[in-house]
Chains A and B, each alone.
Chain A
Amino acid sequence: MKSKLILLIVSSLLISANIYAGGFQLNEHGAKAMALGGAFTAVANDPSAIYWNGAGLSQLSGTNIMIGTSLISPQSTFRGVAPDITKYRAKNLIFFPTHFFASHAFNKQWSIGLGFTTPFGLGTEWDNNWVGKYLAIKTTLMTFIVTPVVTFTPVKSLSLSVGFVYSFANVEITRKSQITNAELPYPFLAQDVFADLKGDDSFAYGFNAGIMVKPTDYLSIGASYHSEVKYDFKGTATTTGPAQVASELPNGDITAELTTPQNIAVGVAVDVTKQLKVSADYQFIGWKSYNTLDVNFTDPKFDDLKSPRNYKDSYIIRLGAGYQFNEQVTFMGGIYFDKNPVSTAYLNPTLPETDRIGLSFGLEGKIFDNLTVQGSYLFIRGKQITVNDSQEIYSEPSSTFNGTYNSTANILSLGFVLSL
Chain B
Amino acid sequence: MKIKLIVSIFLSTLIFISCDDYSDLTPPVKDQMSGSANFSRYVALGNSLTAGYQSGTLYQSAQVYSYANLIAKQVSTSFEMPLISDPGLGGRMEIQSIDPFEIYTNPSSGVPININYIAPYNNLGVPGALTYDILFAKSSITCASYVLSSTPTPNPYFDVILRNSFLNLGTPLEQGLAQAPTFITLWIGNNDVLGYATSGGTSPAAPTPTANFQQLYGGIAQGLSQYVAQSHAGVVVANIPNVSAIPFFTTVGLQIAMNSGIPWSALPLGFVYQKAGESGMGSGSASQQDLLTGKTLVTLLGITYAPLLGQPTGKFYRDKHFPALPAGIDTTKPFGFHPQNPFPNAYVLDPDEITIANNAVTAFNSIIAGLATNFGFGLVDINSRFNQFRAADFGSGTVIDGITFRTFYVQGGLFSLDGVHPTNQGQAILANEFIKAINTKFGASIPFIDVSSIPGSLILHKMVQYKNGYPIIPPGVFDHLLF
Residues of A within 8 A of B (CB): 77, 79, 81, 83-85, 178-179, 181, 183-191, 238-247, 249, 251-252, 321, 323, 331, 333, 357, 359, 361, 379, 381, 384, 394-399, 404, 406, 408
Q: Are A408 and B18 in contact (CB under 8 A)?
A: yes
A242 and B3 contact, CB distance less than 8 A: no
B20, A406: Cβ atoms closer than 8 Å: yes
> Do the beta carbons of A184 and B411 come within 8 Å of each other?
yes
Measured CB to CB, the closest approach of chain B to A364, in angstroms, equals 15
Chain A residue numbers with a CB within 8 Å of B464 are 243
- Tell me, in angstroms, the Cα distance from A230 to B23 when the chains sit together: 41
| Chain B residue contacts of A186, Cβ below 8 A | 403-404, 413, 456
CA distance in complex: A408, B467 (Å):
38
Q: Taking the nearest CB of chain A, how far is it from the CB of B470, in angstroms? A: 9
For the complex, give the distance between the alpha carbons of A186 and B423 in Å: 13
User: Could you count the A-B residue pairs with CB atoms below 8 Å apart for me: how many are there?
Assistant: 136
B31 within 8 A of A: no
Is B28 located at the chain interface by the 8 A CB criterion?
yes
Q: Nearest residue in B to A404 (C-beta to C-beta)?
A: B25
Instruction: Determine if B469 and A190 form an interchain contact, defined as CB atoms under 8 angstroms apart.
Output: no
13 sampled A-B residue pairs with Cβ under 8 A: A83-B27, A85-B27, A184-B410, A189-B456, A189-B460, A251-B468, A331-B3, A361-B7, A396-B452, A397-B402, A398-B402, A398-B403, A408-B18
Given contacts A242-B462, A399-B453, 7 further A-B contacts (CB under 8 A): A186-B403, A188-B411, A190-B456, A240-B467, A242-B463, A249-B467, A406-B21
B98 touches A245 (CB 8 A): yes
Residue among A181, A188, A189, A245 with max Cβ neighbours from chain B (10 Å) = A188
Taking CB atoms, residues of chain A closer than 8 Å to B401 are: 397-399
Q: Among the listed B10, B18, B450, B466, which residue makes an inter-chain contact with A333, where contact means beta carbons less than 8 Å apart? A: B10
Residues of B within 8 A of A187 (CB): 455-456
Query: B14 at interface (Cβ–Cβ under 8 A)?
Result: yes
Known: A190-B458, A251-B468. A384 touches B99 (CB 8 A): no
CA distance A333 to B10 in the complex (A): 9
Q: Is the CB of A243 within 8 A of B466?
A: yes
State A245–B404 Cα separation when bound (angstroms).
22
B231 at the binding interface (Cβ < 8 Å):
no
Indicate the member of B20, B25, B465, B468 with the most A CB atoms within 10 Å.
B25
The answer for the CA separation of A361 and B402 in the assembled complex, in Å, is 51
A238 with B467: CB separation less than 8 A: yes
Q: Are B98 and A395 in contact (CB under 8 A)?
A: no
Contacts of B453 in A (CB 8 A): 81, 394-395, 399
Known: A323-B3, A395-B455, A397-B403. A188 touches B469 (CB 8 A): no
Q: Bound complex: CA of A244 vs CA of B27, how far in Å?
A: 40
Closest to B423 in A: A188
Among B5-31, those with CB < 8 Å from A are: 6-7, 10, 13-14, 17-18, 20-23, 25-28
Q: Is the CB of A190 within 8 A of B10?
A: no
Which 6 pairs from chain A and chain B are nearest by CB? A398-B402, A246-B466, A397-B402, A83-B28, A399-B453, A188-B456
A403 to chain B, nearest CB (A): 9
For residue A331, which residues in chain B have a CB less than 8 angstroms away from its CB?
3
Give which listed residue, A83, A178, A244, A323, contacts B456 with CB less than 8 A.
A178
Give bound CA distance, A329 to B400, whole Å: 67
User: How far, in whole Å, are A81 and B458 apart by their CA atoms in the complex?
Assistant: 24
Most A CB contacts (10 A, CB to CB) among B61, B452, B471 go to: B452
Collect the chain B residues with CB atoms within 8 Å of residue A395's CB.
452-455
- A241 and B466 within 8 A (CB): yes
Please provide the chain B residues from 124 to 180 with a CB less than 8 Å away from any CB of chain A in the complex: none
- Whether B47 sits at the interface, judged by CB under 8 Å, is no
Does any Cβ of A come within 8 Å of B63's Cβ? no
Most chain B C-beta atoms within 10 Å of own C-beta, residue among A77, A379, A381 = A381
Q: Counting CB contacts under 8 A, is B388 at the interface? A: no
CA distance A247 to B13 in the complex (A): 57
Q: A83-B28, A242-B460, A396-B452 are in contact. Are A188 and B21 (CB under 8 A)?
A: no
Which A residues lie within 8 Å of B50 (CB)?
none
Known: A83-B27, A190-B61, A359-B14. A247 touches B456 (CB 8 A): no
Q: Smallest Cβ distance from A81 to chain B, in angstroms?
A: 7
The residue on B at minimum CB distance from A395 is B453
Complexed CA–CA distance, A85 and B28 (Å) = 9
- Distance (whole angstroms) from the CB of B61 to the closest CB of chain A: 7
**In the complex, chain A residues whose CB is within 8 Å of the CB of B96:** 244
| B455 neighbours in A (Cβ, 8 Å) | 178, 187, 190, 395
Report chain A residues within 8 Å CB of B457.
188, 190
CB distance from A323 to the nearest CB of B (A): 6
Contacts of A252 in B (CB 8 A): 468
A379 touches B14 (CB 8 A): yes
Chain B nearest CB from A187 CB (Å) reads: 5
- In the bound assembly, the distance between CA atoms of A77 and B25 in angstroms comes to 13
Given the interface contacts A183-B99, A381-B18, does A243 sit within 8 Å of B463 by beta carbon? yes
Q: Is the CB of B97 within 8 A of A244?
A: yes
With A183-B99, A381-B18: A191-B459 Cβ-Cβ less than 8 Å: yes
**Which single residue of chain A is at the shortest CB-CB distance from B405?**
A186
Bound CA span A238–B61, Å: 28
A114 and B8 alpha carbons, distance in the complex (Å): 39
Q: How far is the CA of A323 from the CA of B6 in the complex (A)?
A: 11
Q: Does B35 contact A (CB under 8 A)?
A: no
B118 at the interface (CB under 8 A from A): no
**A79, A243, A331, A404: which has the most chain B beta carbons within 10 Å?**
A243
Separation of A218 and B401 alpha carbons in the complex (Å) = 65
Q: Mark B418-438, 1 if CB is under 8 A from A, else 0.
A: 000001010000000000000
> In the assembled complex, how far is the CB of residue B203 from the closest CB belonging to chain A, in whole angstroms?
32
- Which listed residue (A83, A239, A394) contacts B447, Cβ 8 A? A83
Q: Is B95 close to A, CB under 8 A? A: yes
Docked complex Cα distance between A113 and B66 (Å): 67
Q: A83-B27, A191-B459 are in contact. Are A243 and B20 (CB under 8 A)?
A: no
Q: Bound complex: CA of A275 vs CA of B61, how far in Å? A: 67
* Residue from the list A242, A244, A246, A323 in contact with B469, Cβ < 8 A: A246
Chain A contacts for B20, CB-based, 8 A? 77, 406, 408
Contact flags (1/0) for B94-105 with A, using CB distance below 8 Å? 011111000000
| B25 and A79 contact, CB distance less than 8 A | yes
